[in-house]
Structure 1
Amino acid sequence: MAQRHLDPTDPLAGPAPTGDTLAGYLRTQATEFLRALRLHRETGSGANGSEASVEAGRALRRSARRISAGLHTFQPLLDTDWCEGMRPELAWVSGTLAMEHAYTARLERLLNALHRLSGSAPAAGARADAAAGGRADVPAGARADLAAGSRAAGAAPVPTRAAPRRAELRNPPPPAQERGNLTVGAAKAGALLDRQLNLARTRAHSTALQALGSSRFHAIADKVAVLASEVPLTRAASTADLRPLAAAAKDRLADAVTALPLVTAGHPYNAAALIHGLSPDTVPHPQDAPWHHVRLLLRLHRYAREAVSGPKGNAVVDLRLLSAGQALNRHRDASEAAAAAAQAARTPRIAPATAYALGVLHADQRHEVEAARFAFQQAWQKEAEAVSTR
């Protein structure tokens, strides 16, 4: 049996951090929040906001998440009423500011998947167009047809990947007319997704602007400004050890991972993520919720490590946790993209070729969900092996 040793890179193994360490961490994150807010106001937040404004919005979300996570994990050491009042407000800020970016990234992901599934490379500038919330070229040379949504038959045909000779003998390629119909379906599917997600992105942008100018947000900013100088610790916090609370966050994560079907996820391409894929129910995929929950718990665990390490952010980055978090981020993105494709397929009176293309796109994203689960299982297995050898 391997002997257990303290890991010098684990912040939970160092000197006992106290409430003063937590206060320093929260003050640092509050200062980052105020700095990002000032930068966001200086760089502009209109429809043509600069890249600096976009980065300021990301910094606002990052600091809001970390403050909220600190209040959640270490609430016994903080004023209870203050925590319960601040956490929902910080979650509202982070969630509201994240929606525009989420719709933009989702559209880019789906349009790139359409190109890949059609066997064509995205046109130059498509990624930049999607990132800017503009029209993306799907497929190359058919932008005008895509925008019209009904003249795609005149678009340049999308080249298909060369199939193995043996496969051609078993499954001869479809006639040229059928290949053209598939091109029409992909183009119209892209146009439909472009309209729906760009509309949602525009609404999310307007909602974010209204939120940033609201009295509710100004009240939150005022409280964060107070937090930057005064943290509402309890009397016992000055001598309390942060490590048991941080360890509890780690244990909650481990318990949630244990409940996942990691044995199934350990086999790539098992298609478990496609179960219920044809269900008419429009609620989120029933299998995804536990994985999304693990993603949130993993984030709380990472932020707890940061808080325990001190306000200067001296926590050693654990590459295993980072890889696991990235896999769960991909899982979330693919799951939401599949839901967007399914929602578009429910649009009334769409052409059969369009519905077919959206169905293929939905299945592709659900396979991406399965691949992300496999990647998480591999990363978490390495984490478990590393813990067992300490």
Structure 2
Amino acid sequence: MAQQHLDPTNSTNSTVVPADAVAGYLRAQATEFLRALRTHRETGGGAAAGAEESAYAALALRRSARRISGTLHTFRPLLDTDWSESLRPELAWLSGSLGREHAYAARLNRLVTALNRLSGATPFPTQPPIPTRPTTTSATTGRSTTAASTAGARPADAASTAGSRSVDATSTAGGRSPAAVPTPDRGNLTVGAAKAGALLDRQLTLARTRAHSAALQALGSSRFHAVADSLAVLASEVPLTPTAPTADLRPLAAAAHDRLRDAVTGLPLHMAGHPYNAEALIHGLSPDTAPHPQDAPWHQVRLLLRLHRYALEVLYPEAVPVDVRLLAAGEALNRHRDASEAASAAASAARTPRITPATAYALGVLHADQRHEVEASRFAFQQSWQKEAVSTS
């Protein structure tokens, strides 16, 4: 039996959804915003438990701000134009200010986890020390020189293959095969990964600290108080247009759904269906630090999917029916966004002056790993969307 997807254009309910539904949704979200604001003010600056609760309250503030802003965008023909157009940019500013700290923390956790996975969950085992012969310290100087000269004539000598191995280390190996000596290149890669993790920790922790300070400043600014006052009024009164009482919300929600489908149609899903996207390497070494040009359309689809989900919340005030396709698509696009931003952070860290080649190499491997996650997320989205197309055909 084919799954029924939540398409407002094909709703089985022919009943008109009045504008009171969007008004009730906006009032509920404004009330949630004010409740979260009170919790944030009561717990801010307290102990560790209070700080954690304050962080959850900040996320709740952002959640309500996003939903109010998205609803104002989707159903703007039914709302007072001057009021909604002046409030939407302020909500976007607030949502961005409150979300950066959490984003930096999640990005650092993602990159450190990836580094641990790429370098191994446990450190590389240390090799036992090679015993030396105390009687050959001074009496065998000539033999050591002869051994070194003989080793120089061998094409597969350890000094030529390892590059950084000294002649003394070769002579003190007691004639042991170079394969028995720990490979310093692997150790250098491990050290490079550790230094890359430390560099990312410094940079992203600093960015998170600055974002936290900026969020506190934003919450204490007159700009935020103006937004809070507007939402306090919204919790009791929604400025609708004179024609709103006779309007039906379903066509506006269907328009949001159509914008989502059109944006998905513009995605290169044929490329996402392949295991590797070679075109993602185009301009990969460009000095431009702007986000990857292929990512922007996918980020736009993620935004439109979120607006479509908010519209469904308005149409189904009690509980939105579960749509597995929407859940899978949203999760894939969230992973796509996270991996894309993590790859940009790794590339930015690799541009740090005076880092060692091993550190830069580890950051390059990390960047490639996150771009691979981007491709995997696109493939997952493509698979879920193709299943949706098959089931509704």
Following superposition, the deviation at residue 275 of structure 1 comes to 3.5
Alignment match, 1:384: 389
Partner of 1:41: 41
Distance 1:362 1:9, change over 3 A: closer
Equivalent-residue separation in structure 2 for 1:50 and 1:140 (angstroms)? 38
* Correspondences of 1:224-373 after superposition (within 5 Å): 224-310=231-317, 312=318, 314-373=319-378
Verify the 8 A CA contact 1:271 1:370 in the aligned structure 2: no
Report the AA paired with residue 103 of structure 1: Y
Letter in 1 for 2:313: E
Stretch of structure 1 that moved more, 5-14 or 46-55: 5-14
CA distance in 2, matches of 1:140, 1:105: 27
Helix, strand or coil for the counterpart of 2:62?
Answer: helix
Superposed counterparts of 1:1-390, under 5 Å: 7=4, 13=11, 14=13, 15-45=15-45, 48=48, 49-121=50-122, 176-310=183-317, 312=318, 314-388=319-393
Shift in alpha-carbon separation, 1:309–1:299, aligned structure 2, 3 A:
same
- Name the count of aligned residue pairs: 336
Q: Residue type of the partner of 1:110?
A: L
Shift of residue 178, structure 1, vs aligned partner: 0.7
Do the aligned partners of 1:27 and 1:228 also contact (CA within 8 Å) in 2? Answer: yes
Instruction: Say which SS state the counterpart of residue 347 (structure 1) adopts.
Output: coil
CA shift for structure 1 position 39: 1.1
CA RMSD of aligned residues (A): 2.3
CA shift digits 1:242-263 (9 cap, x unpaired):
0111111111111110010001
* Alignment deviations for residues 231-278 of structure 1 (CA, whole Å, 9 cap, x no partner): 001111111000111111111111110010001101223454343322
Query: What CA deviation, in whole Å up to 9, does each residue of 1:68-87 have, x standing for no partner?
Result: 00000000000000010010
1:322 and 1:8 map into 2 onto residues whose CA distance is 11
- Structure with higher Rg: it is 2
Matched to 2:72, the amino acid is: L
Partner SS for 2:299: helix
Distance 1:105 1:194, change over 3 A: same
Contact 1:118 1:186 in 2 (8 A): yes
Between 274-283 and 25-34, report the one with greater CA deviation: 274-283
The alpha-carbon deviation at position 379 of structure 1 amounts to 1.4
Contact 2:3 2:391 in 1 (8 A): no
Q: Residue 38 and residue 323 in structure 1: after superposition, are their counterparts in 2 closer, same or farther (change >3 A)?
A: same
Shift of 1:290: 0.5
Contact 1:44–1:53 (8 Å) recurs in 2: yes
Contact 1:273–1:369 (CA under 8 A) maintained in structure 2: no
CA distance in structure 1 between the partners assigned to 2:332 and 2:5 by the alignment: 26
Worse-superposed segment, 51-60 or 66-75: 51-60
Note the C-alpha offset of 1:335. 0.4
Return 203-212 or 179-188, whichever deviates more. 179-188
The 2-side partners of 1:376 and 1:209 are apart by 36
Any stretches of 5+ residues in structure 1 without a counterpart?
Answer: 122-138, 142-171
What percentage of aligned pairs have identical amino acids?
74
Change (3 A) 1:272 1:367: farther
Secondary structure in 2 matching 1:205: helix
- What is the distance in 2 between the residues matched to 1:44 and 1:6? 46
Contact 1:11 1:309 in 2 (8 A): no
Determine helix, strand or coil for the equivalent of 1:42. helix
CA contact 2:260–2:304 (8 Å) conserved in 1: yes
Contact 2:20 2:245 in 1 (8 A): yes
Dislocated runs of 4+, deviation >4 Å: 5-12, 45-49, 172-175
Aligned mates of 2:98, 2:63 — CA distance in 1: 11
Kept after mapping to 2: 8 A contact 1:274/1:363: no
Secondary structure class of the residue paired with 2:392: helix
State the distance in 1 between where 2:190 and 2:265 align.
44
Structure 2: give runs of 5+ residues left out of the alignment.
Answer: 126-178
Opposite residue 200 of structure 2, the aligned amino acid is L
Instruction: Give the whole-Å Cα distance in 2 for the aligned partners of 1:56 and 1:95.
Output: 15
1:9-66 per-position Cα deviation (integer Å, ceiling 9, x unaligned) = 6566222111111101111111111111111111225795532222211111111111
Q: CA deviation at 1:301?
A: 0.6
TM-score by length of 2: 0.81
User: Structure 1 residues 16, 212: closer, same or farther in 2, change over 3 A?
Assistant: same
2:328 partner letter: S
1:349-390 residue CA offsets vs partner (Å, 9 max, x unmatched): 1111111000000000000000000011111122223333xx
Is the CA contact (8 Å cut-off) linking 1:264 and 1:270 kept in structure 2?
yes
Distance in 1 between residues matched to 2:63 and 2:100, nearest whole Å: 14
